[in-house]
Structure 1
Amino acid sequence: MSYNLKSRFLLLLSFCVVGFNSAFAQSGISLYHLTNSTYQGSNFNPAFFPEGKTFIGLPVLSGIMIDYNGRVNYEDAITTNEIGEREWDIDNFVDNAKKRNYISMEAEISTLHVAWRKSKTQAFSLFVRERIGARGFYGENVVKTAWYGNSTLVGDEIDLSRTALDVRYYREYGFGVWRSIPNRGINIGVRVKFLNGMVSAVTDNKFDGSIGFEENSYIANFDLNSATINTSGLNIIDAGGSDLTSHMISNGNLGAGIDLGAHWKITNELSAAVSVNDLGFIRWKVDPENYLMADTTFRFEGIDLADVGNFEDAYLDSLQNRLQDTTLNRAYTTGLNTSSYASLMYQLTPNDRFTGSIASYIVRGNFRMIYSAAYTRKVGRVLDVSANVSRIPQQGIDLGLAAAVNFGSCQIYMASDKLLRIWDVTKIDAVDFRFGFNLVFNGKGKSPKDDNSDLTHPSPYGKKEKVEKSDGIYWIIRKQKPRPVYEKTRFKDY
């Protein structure tokens, strides 16, 4: 890695170590409430297999997801002065920072999916997806220190316990199996995934520490325990060229994952669904670098953080000096960011359904919960639409909407979980958008040809007779050939 890139990365690391904790804000609860209306429903619960015979996804077009969740919006940093002009007011934003704030950015791209229904009770799928995520948590002291300098923290300290950073990009190749058990009213699904990691930067789970500022001085005392960040792929990105191309196609960062789901029809009207997704790991062996500051105590003397001019150079020089003898090149393993969904559904009519759902996301031991209530409506074979009210971490109550429109064998879907502030761009601090185009063959909701197999019974004329078909008390008699018609005999008069 070049000196410049490494320097910037270490500076980023230092700020993350000072104030970030992992979080996972991805939702998708609106698209989830369409259940099996789209193939993408199986991404949330493998037991949601769509209606139809064969399903094909086109590269990129069949699945694009962008999800951002933060604290900052335009209104937080802008104010109106006495003469009615709009001007920056960073002090207002800094003063209103919460004790714990997180930021999360997620993106997914569907490279390919192919699924087919082998029979009424069994189906299979193959898929490839690109998954990118960056997550972090920052405290109010970090924001105030960066803006006002350390003068606001004289005699106080910043607690760094449970601090973490999680940035990763990986590709998943998957195979799914869906099975229906009609006599028990249960659908189950399993998706096994082979994973290939591209880029990673994660902090050690055991990290702990604090930064204390002495009174009447600018001396900062750092106490860091197991302050480690593991990276993979950064040198390859810096080098570029054919090595980067080869790395992005395939490399030795391998892992495995599994998704599990079930959907149980309790009564004709009531059903329940539960799923657990992304149970697994990735072993990062290609271009690993481990930056360690284990059990370190050191002091910064005479640096005024409000003096931005010399802060970066002084901080980087000191940090690099402490890391240069503790940089290793050893492989490491990261777990996937597991998510789970649980729902109770009430089918009011064949076309109207009410759903209550809970979704949880886990990143390195941290939970984020989403609570949602939704109404879903089928409009013939053309339109499926769902609207919901959800409580989303950091954003509070928000509205979501999802729709799937079918034009013959073509299906278009769109979904968003965050619509309340979309009409006022200045207040947007979170974005969730999903879009895709699917090819669905054999008609959405079209039943396979009836072979009348349910009417087959043993013949009443004895075991040696062939099996015949009956419906209740009536026997179904095979169509007989018509009798031959003979020409009438003509009689002559004598």
Structure 2
Amino acid sequence: MRRIILFFIVISCSFSFSQNKQLLYGFSEIPQSLLLNPGGKIKNDWYFGIPLLSHIHVNVGITGSTVYDIFADDGIDFNTKLQNAVYSMKPKDFFSANQQLEIFSGGFSFGSSYEKNEYLSFGLYQELDFIAYFPKDLAVLALEGNQNNINRPFKANHMSVAAEAISVLHLGYNKKVNDHFTFGVRGKIYSSIANVRSTKNQGRFTTVLGQNNFYDHIFNLDLELRTSGLASLSDDESDSDSVVKDLKKRILFGGNLGLGFDVGFTRQLNEQWSWDASLLDIGFIRHTKDIENYKIEGDYVFEGVNPIFPDTGNGQTAEEYWNEIEDNFEDIFKLDTTAAKYTTWRPIKLNTSLNYAFGKKKHETCDCAIEDDSYQNSAGLQLFAMSRPKQPQLALTAYYYRRLFNGLQVKATYTIDSYSANNIGLGMSANLGGLNFYIMADNFLELKNIYSAQSVSLQLGFNYIFNKNED
């Protein structure tokens, strides 16, 4: 049983989703790039996203040991591979997940009839975010037991988890001040569908040699789990229809509410060099409804099970003996349940990039630029950073962008992040009349063996776009 528990701990912490969208960031032909930088360049007059299809994003990755490391048919004993996986992973290795589905979206330019230099965008999307750090000490305890770890403190702060499902209603404003500077801001209303958070656990568990028994188990614990939106869903009187109805209400103003905003800008340094940056999800959610919190706090000593069977001659029965042990456990780990309100802060994300544009189109019959004088290529570096409970999540990306012709653009990226140092991605945006389709994926080098891949992502969408007149 101990090895089964350990196995699921390792497997759970081997998969990870990331919120970095290096292929979409700065891809100005795709309207959804404004969600990553509200101050980005805009190349359309107006657009609307095809409902439920305009932006679908899923990203899977691995930090620490992979599934292939444990299940590979390489002649090595499974228990040995499981032990190697546990010992090689660190408490800061994590399992996280992020998924987004855009429900609807749109945008349009406005301003003077001569130059429409302002733009409004809006939409509603659903997001799932989850992170759980690898509980290294708990995994070692499950692997080795406490008999071989006398006087060793096993830390409780290795246990850290946060999960939430939310919907986000947003309105963005973008203004091109002049040819050198564009800025933007986006306001957001968060509606929490469900939330689970336990990120500030403290304490330790230590086994020492006992006096009245073989061992004494010493607990010094300060553990807390906060939840909102779950208690009513698990109510015995709730059926599937009522649960679905309740979840639908929470998508728009029916859950615990919060506010936030994004800011961003693009600075044209000269004709070919530009710099842009954005800060996303500066905001909070206040949890006041459907709250259920659990807390264990205090110092306890448990002397273990008395190996000597009860003396029935003194009137104690076997049932009373085991009931006494059960009562001792309940007294030690007394669980306090409260409905205290709490606030969660959204994970802030930073994007910034330095870009160099080059390669104007030339006439085939002369060495001169044609009427469309925009650059066909660009290359640059992008930095991504995101706040997390234990340490920031970072990624550095080098990219190359190419406009093949007016209706087709491609982008290639090379990313170094927490999962891999050789992540190659490819993205494409294509227009057929007013219909725009884009698809993006990364880590192509690892697709030959998906079980050993450090990360794999996919995002795609459909929009209807009315482009600006470039003449």
Q: TM-score, normalised by structure 2?
A: 0.79
Q: Helix, strand or coil: the match of 1:59?
A: coil
Q: Note if contact 2:135-2:159 (Cα within 8 Å) is conserved in structure 1.
A: no
Q: Which residue of 1 aligns with 2:225?
A: 229
Q: Distance in 1 between matches of 2:352 and 2:50?
A: 30
- Stretches of structure 2 lacking an aligned partner (at least 5 in a row): 307-324, 360-374
Cα 1:422–1:298 shift into 2, 3 Å: farther
Q: Note if contact 1:218-1:301 (Cα within 8 Å) is conserved in structure 2.
A: yes
Deviation (angstroms), 1:182: 1.2
Q: Distance in 2 between matches of 1:127 and 1:413?
A: 18
Letter in 1 for 2:54: S
Q: Find runs of 4+ consecutive structure 1 residues off by over 6 angstroms.
A: 84-88, 315-320
Q: Note if contact 2:272-2:357 (Cα within 8 Å) is conserved in structure 1.
A: yes
Q: What are the superposed Cα offsets for residues 167-208 of structure 1, whole Å, 9 maximum, x if unpaired?
A: 00010101111100115x111111101111010001254x32
Q: Distance in 2 between matches of 1:88 and 1:149?
A: 16
Q: Which residue of 2 aligns with 1:473?
A: none
Deviation (angstroms), 1:446: 2.9
Cα 1:433–1:149 shift into 2, 3 Å: farther
Asked if 1:194 is matched to 2:186, the reply is: no
Cα 1:110–1:322 shift into 2, 3 Å: farther
For 1:288, which of 287, 291, 295 is the aligned residue? 291
Q: Helix, strand or coil: the match of 1:214?
A: strand
Q: TM-score, normalised by structure 1?
A: 0.76
Point out the more displaced range, 372-381 or 271-280. Answer: 372-381
Q: What are the superposed Cα offsets for residues 395-454 of structure 1, whole Å, 9 maximum, x if unpaired?
A: 33311222111111111111234333122123134332111111112x3x5337xxxxxx
Cα 1:214–1:366 shift into 2, 3 Å: same
* 1:249-268 aligned within 5 A: 249-250=249-250, 251-268=254-271
Asked if 1:338 is matched to 2:348, the reply is: yes
Q: Distance in 2 between matches of 1:179 and 1:298?
A: 64
Asked if 1:248 is matched to 2:243, the reply is: no
Letter in 2 for 1:248: K
Asked if 1:212 is matched to 2:206, the reply is: yes
Q: Share of identical aligned residues, percent? A: 20
Q: Which residue of 2 aligns with 1:38?
A: 30
Letter in 1 for 2:352: A
For 2:71, which of 78, 81, 84 is the aligned residue? 78
Q: Note if contact 1:81-1:87 (Cα within 8 Å) is conserved in structure 2.
A: no
For 2:88, which of 84, 87, 96 is the aligned residue? 96
Q: Which residue of 1 aligns with 2:316?
A: none
Cα 1:440–1:155 shift into 2, 3 Å: same
Q: Note if contact 2:205-2:218 (Cα within 8 Å) is conserved in structure 1.
A: yes
Cα 1:50–1:264 shift into 2, 3 Å: same
Q: Distance in 2 between matches of 1:295 and 1:247?
A: 37
For 1:351, which of 368, 376, 393 is the aligned residue? 376
Letter in 2 for 1:270: W
Q: Distance in 1 between matches of 2:386 and 2:268?
A: 26
Deviation (angstroms), 1:300: 7.1
Q: Distance in 1 between matches of 2:442 and 2:26?
A: 11
Deviation (angstroms), 1:153: 3.4
Q: Helix, strand or coil: the match of 1:126?
A: strand
Q: Note if contact 1:236-1:244 (Cα within 8 Å) is conserved in structure 2.
A: no
For 1:391, which of 407, 416, 420 is the aligned residue? 416
- Stretches of structure 1 lacking an aligned partner (at least 5 in a row): 1-11, 304-314, 449-494
Q: What are the superposed Cα offsets for residues 228-255 of structure 1, whole Å, 9 maximum, x if unpaired?
A: 1110111222234325513432324011
